[in-house]
């Protein structure tokens, strides 16, 4: 059965769209929804202005256009860049922010909503991305530097960072528990509702809420899903997606098509889910070594649960 009544009686809900994806805000005190929404919207606007590769006037676009020069950056962009570098470091480069040029090469050069689903053939060639060690950030002086020819894309971490910051801001502004979902990257902050935040897990964040889908509950932290099945497009006879393997500069081509991870923050969760897909055959072992609860969907739909991820419960 689909179209579940979304627990609206006890939660304040606000849906919208930002950062190129659908957004959802939930607060445990419905009467404080407006304050929470305003706080969330401020964070999302600031992230968009700092980190969007698709805005010519964003800070990241100016940084990419100034490769070879030391550029002053805002505190927020410095935090986003350091978050990206930390993700690269702990994944040994599987999640790398210097994939900007590779994404442009495969056609992902604008907001996904404006990207044609199909188009003529394009020339693809395998070449490792420049690598995260080529990006230098100094938070103390708020400066950043890239070598000429390197382009940064923060898609793998900035949206998750936005979820974490927005949930925290919404909880603080409302004095209530808050959940923020940005295209399925979910962060929670403050006291959860009874039984925790109930989250449906699937391959498409745009799927309707349903009684029939696998649902888990979290009390804190974040949950994120990376998938090769949703953001896809075709050029010539080739199907492409947005998760780049830094070793080849091409879309990752491993055995996992979708990975969901729960962690202490949405940034951690999204870093791990992206890394698992990029690492391919080694992705599940890496997640186990990290001790993170995860749900992986293989190329043919087979589901593997790791690290304490619960088995689906029979519906009452």
Partner 1 sequence: MPTENTSSPSTRDRGLRRLNRLTMAITGGAVASLGAFASTAAATIPGSSGTLKVAALSSTSATSNVDGATTTTTTPTPAATPTPTPTASSKPVAVSGGSK
Residues 50-89 close enough to bind partner 1 by CB under 8 A:
70, 82, 85-87, 89
- Residues between 172 and 191 with contacts to partner 1, criterion CB under 8 A: 179, 181-186
Which residue, 70 or 122, has its beta carbon nearer to partner 1? 70
Which residue, 74 or 219, has its beta carbon nearer to partner 1? 219
First vs last Cα of the chain: how many Å apart? 13
- Residues between 2 and 21 with contacts to partner 1, criterion CB under 8 A: 4-7, 11, 13, 21
Give the burial class of 158: count Cβ atoms within 10 A of its Cβ; 0-12 exposed, 13-18 middle, 19 or more buried: buried
Asked whether the beta carbons of 48 and 19 are under 8 A apart, the reply is: yes
- Residues between 238 and 297 with contacts to partner 1, criterion CB under 8 A: 245-247, 258, 260, 262-265, 267-268, 271-272, 278-280, 282, 285-286, 289-293
Which residue, 35 or 99, has its beta carbon nearer to partner 1? 99
Q: Dihedrals φ, ψ of 80, to 5°?
A: -65, -40
Q: What is the Cβ-side half-sphere exposure of residue 180, based on CA atoms within 13 angstroms? A: 33
Which residue, 60 or 306, has its beta carbon nearer to partner 1? 306
Using CA atoms, how far residue 142 sits from 70, 160, 254, in Å, is 10, 22, 38
Q: What is the DSSP string of 121-152?
A: -----------GGG-EEETTTTEEE--TT---
Q: How far is the CB of 128 from partner 1 (least distance, A)?
A: 9
Which residue, 221 or 255, has its beta carbon nearer to partner 1? 221
Q: How far is the CB of 264 from partner 1 (least distance, A)?
A: 5
The yes or no reply on residue 211 touching partner 1 (CB under 8 A) is: yes
**CB within 8 A of 265, min separation 6: which ones?**
160, 164, 187, 221, 222
- Residues between 99 and 128 with contacts to partner 1, criterion CB under 8 A: none
Q: How far is the CB of 265 from partner 1 (least distance, A)?
A: 7
Which residue, 151 or 268, has its beta carbon nearer to partner 1? 268
Give the burial class of 68: count Cβ atoms within 10 A of its Cβ; 0-12 exposed, 13-18 middle, 19 or more buried: exposed
- Residues between 137 and 176 with contacts to partner 1, criterion CB under 8 A: 137-141, 143-145, 159
């Amino acid at each position: 059965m689909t179209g579940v009544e979304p627990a609206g009686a006890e939660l304040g809900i606000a849906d919208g769209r930002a950062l190129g994806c659908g957004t959802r805000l939930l607060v445990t005190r419905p009467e404080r929804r407006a304050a929470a929404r305003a706080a969330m919207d401020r964070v999302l606007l600031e992230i968009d202005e700092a980190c969007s590769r698709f805005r010519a006037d964003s800070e990241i676009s100016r940084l990419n256009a100034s490769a070879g020069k030391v550029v002053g950056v805002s505190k927020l962009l410095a935090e986003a860049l350091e978050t990206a570098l930390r993700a690269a470091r702990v994944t040994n480069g599987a999640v790398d922010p210097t994939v900007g040029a590779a994404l442009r090469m495969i056609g992902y050069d604008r907001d996904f909503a404006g990207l044609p689903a199909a188009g003529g053939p394009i020339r693809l060639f395998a070449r490792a991305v420049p690598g995260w060690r080529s990006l230098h950030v100094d938070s103390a002086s708020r400066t950043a530097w890239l070598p000429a020819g390197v382009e940064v894309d923060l898609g793998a971490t900035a949206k998750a960072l936005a979820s974490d910051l927005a949930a925290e801001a919404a909880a603080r502004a409302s004095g209530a528990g808050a959940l923020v979902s940005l295209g399925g990257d979910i962060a929670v902050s403050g006291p959860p509702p009874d039984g925790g935040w109930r989250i449906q897990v699937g391959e498409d964040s745009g799927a309707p809420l349903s009684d029939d889908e696998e649902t888990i509950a979290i009390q804190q932290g974040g949950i994120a899903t990376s998938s090769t099945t949703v953001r896809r497009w075709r050029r010539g006879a080739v199907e492409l997606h947005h998760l780049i393997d830094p070793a080849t500069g091409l879309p990752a081509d491993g055995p996992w098509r979708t990975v969901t991870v729960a962690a202490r923050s949405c940034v951690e969760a999204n870093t791990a889910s992206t890394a698992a897909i990029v690492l391919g055959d080694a992705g599940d072992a890496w997640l186990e070594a990290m001790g993170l609860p995860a749900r992986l969907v293989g190329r043919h739909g087979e589901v593997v649960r790791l690290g304490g991820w619960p088995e689906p419960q029979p519906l009452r």
